[in-house]
């Protein structure tokens, strides 16, 4: 083909274009005939076209598409037409429709691409990016370990899964809610319905019909403690309500007061160096003995019939010891010289014998269980005789006092102790006020309780009077007891030993009696 020769015909150009296919490389964009085909090359984005590389097809910049690529050429590429520009051969594919902002076509995994639009006046207006909705955090909990129980409020899981909460605090709060949902109903159930234990709750009191007649009290029908329980059970009844509680606490508190009083005496009195201080120590010791044994007897006597007898026998031993201690203190500190001259040889031996007789009569009355006047006589007559001898020095001193209105506080305490003892004896013997109100004094208001109260007041007043006489009447009692100040120690030990032996022998008789009863 020569220079200046006419180009190929239109039929030849049409066949070449058909061979290249539509959109092929090197095609004439204007459709001019004779345009030569150019070889295929990578497309470079240009500002004129506004195209972005990558993807499956070409889309205009700013659209909702992300990438494009040229379609592959079909057939052999046509040689480029002489004089045709290379870039003019690029042909932009048709623009694809934009994807919807919402709906199934919206890709939530890619960030929002700002879309620019033009207003009515032709100026650019930027639309702020729409904040996408964040799905709540979901946890793959097994069915048995759900983070909330059915009893929990259904609003709580939605609150815990708000989008503004981070992941790990939300999981921690969910676990805490799970624990609380299981714990709170358990605590509520335990508060409303206590869990049954292996052992039933102990019954601290029973009616009169559920205990043997040995434990019955006149006009008292309830408040008795059951028999054959553990020792721990009866010690626990110290803090329970029953018909012996007041009897226990009155003498128990008085015993503690006596210990404090003894501590005060130990700071002011020389018990070891002063031979005239020994009767004061004996009276304090005797008072503490009878108060503590009485409290122990009333607390533990409901263990069984044998222990009922045994503990009250010990109670009577304490009463005998206190009787001799009172007689010794009155004889040593409160006696007047005239009365001392008449009874000095027989007073202490007789007091020891009457104390033992009082213990024996009380033990025998408890052992025989004889109703009526005979049983009361065996207990009360020896005690009345012992008290009459023991208080005689005080009564003589009150009667022969030259000036009853003189400033003698010890004498006033002696008068008080006499009055308190007489009141105690009256309540002990008459069974009042429960006799007047039968069935109404089960816990409080029994005559024996009032007997305990007045006997404690008598003991405290007696100790104060003896302490004052020990300090103020030393010039009187030192000459009277200068010859044999220690003979009373042997009598005191003899009284204690004989009373304990008597109680032990009677307890053995009780054991044999109960054994015959059970056979």
> What are the φ/ψ torsions at residue 176 (nearest 5 degrees)?
-65, -40
User: CB neighbours (10 Å) of residue 113?
Assistant: 11
448 is in an annotated binding site: yes
Which regions in the chain score pLDDT beneath 70? 1-173, 176-177, 179-201, 403-406, 484-486
* pLDDT for 246: 96
Q: Which helix (H) or strand (E) holds 181?
A: helix 167-192
Query: What angle in degrees, to the nearest 10, is found between the helix axes of 373-400 and 305-329?
Result: 20
For residue 339, how far is the Cα from the chain centroid?
Answer: 64
So what's the pLDDT on residue 29?
Answer: 41
29 is written with which tokens?
Answer: 């964009």
CA–CA dist 176, 41 (Å, integer): 64
Q: What is the pLDDT of residue 408?
A: 83
User: Residue 360: which of 323, 412, 405 has the closest Cα?
Assistant: 323
Cβ atoms 292, 274 nearer than 8 A: no
Query: Residue 39: its pLDDT value, please?
Result: 45
Task: Please report, for residues 152, 167, 187, 474, 489, the alpha-carbon distance to residue 328 in angstroms, rounded to integers and kept in the order given.
Answer: 79, 89, 65, 16, 10
Q: SS3 of 162, please?
A: coil
**Is residue 452 a known part of a binding site?**
yes
Work out whether the CA dihedral 416, 421, 424, 425 comes out positive or negative: negative
Does residue 92 contact residue 65 with C-beta atoms inside 8 Å? no
What pLDDT score was predicted for residue 35?
A: 43
C-alpha span between 148 and 139 (Å, rounded): 12
Distance CA 63, CA 183 (A): 58
Q: Do the bridges between strand 116-118 and strand 206-207 make them parallel or antiparallel, or are there none, so unpaired?
A: unpaired
Contact 287, 325 (CB under 8 A): yes
> In terms of Cα–Cα distance, which of 1, 4, 32, 5 is closest to 16?
32
Closest CA to 470 of 328, 325, 261, 277: 277
What's the Rg (C-alpha) of the chain? 58
Is 298 annotated to bind a ligand? Reply is yes
């Amino acid at each position: 083909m020569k220079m200046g020769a006419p180009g190929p015909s239109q039929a030849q150009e049409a066949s070449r274009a058909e061979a290249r296919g539509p959109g092929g490389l090197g095609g004439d964009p204007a459709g001019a005939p004779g345009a030569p085909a150019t070889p295929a090359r990578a497309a470079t984005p240009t500002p004129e076209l506004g195209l972005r590389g990558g993807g499956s097809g070409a889309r205009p910049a700013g659209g909702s598409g992300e990438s494009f690529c040229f379609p592959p050429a079909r057939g052999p590429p046509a040689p480029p037409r002489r004089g045709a520009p290379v870039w003019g051969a690029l042909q932009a594919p048709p623009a694809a429709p934009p994807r919807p902002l919402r709906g199934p076509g919206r890709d939530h995994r890619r960030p929002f691409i700002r879309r620019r639009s033009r207003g009515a006046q032709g100026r650019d207006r930027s639309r702020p990016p729409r904040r996408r909705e964040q799905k709540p955090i979901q946890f793959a909990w097994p069915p048995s370990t759900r983070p909330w129980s059915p009893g929990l409020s259904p609003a709580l899981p939605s609150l815990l899964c708000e989008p503004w909460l981070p992941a790990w605090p939300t999981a921690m709060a969910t676990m805490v809610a799970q624990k609380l949902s299981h714990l709170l109903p358990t605590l509520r159930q335990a508060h409303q319905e206590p869990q049954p234990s292996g052992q039933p709750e102990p019954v601290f009191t029973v009616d009169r019909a559920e205990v043997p007649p040995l434990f019955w009290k006149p006009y008292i029908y309830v408040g008795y403690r059951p028999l054959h329980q553990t020792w721990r059970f009866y010690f626990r009844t110290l803090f329970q309500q029953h018909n012996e509680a007041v009897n226990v606490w009155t003498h128990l508190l008085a015993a503690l007061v006596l210990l404090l009083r003894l501590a005060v005496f130990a700071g002011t009195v020389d018990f070891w160096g002063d031979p005239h201080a020994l009767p004061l120590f004996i009276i304090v010791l005797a008072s503490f003995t009878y108060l503590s044994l009485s409290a122990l007897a009333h607390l533990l006597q409901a263990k069984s019939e044998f222990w009922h007898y045994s503990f009250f026998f010990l109670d009577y031993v304490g009463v005998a010891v206190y009787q001799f201690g009172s007689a010794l203190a009155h004889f040593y500190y409160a006696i007047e010289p005239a009365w001392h001259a008449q009874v000095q040889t027989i007073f202490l031996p007789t007091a020891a014998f009457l104390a033992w007789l009082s213990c024996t009569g009380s033990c025998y009355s408890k052992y025989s269980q004889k109703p009526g006047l005979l049983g009361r006589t065996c207990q009360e007559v020896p005690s009345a005789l012992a008290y009459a001898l023991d208080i005689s020095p005080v009564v003589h001193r009150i009667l022969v006092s030259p000036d009853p209105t003189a400033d003698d506080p010890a004498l006033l305490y002696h008068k008080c102790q006499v009055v308190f003892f007489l009141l105690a004896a009256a309540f002990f013997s008459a069974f009042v006020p429960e006799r007047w109100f039968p069935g109404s004094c089960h816990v409080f208001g029994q005559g024996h309780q009032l007997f305990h109260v007045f006997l404690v007041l008598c003991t405290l007043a007696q100790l104060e009077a003896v302490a004052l006489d020990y300090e103020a009447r030393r010039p009187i009692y030192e000459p009277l007891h200068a010859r044999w100040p220690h003979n009373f120690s042997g009598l005191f030990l003899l009284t204690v030993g004989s009373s304990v032996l008597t109680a032990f022998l009677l307890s053995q008789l009780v054991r044999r009696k109960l054994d015959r009863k059970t056979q």
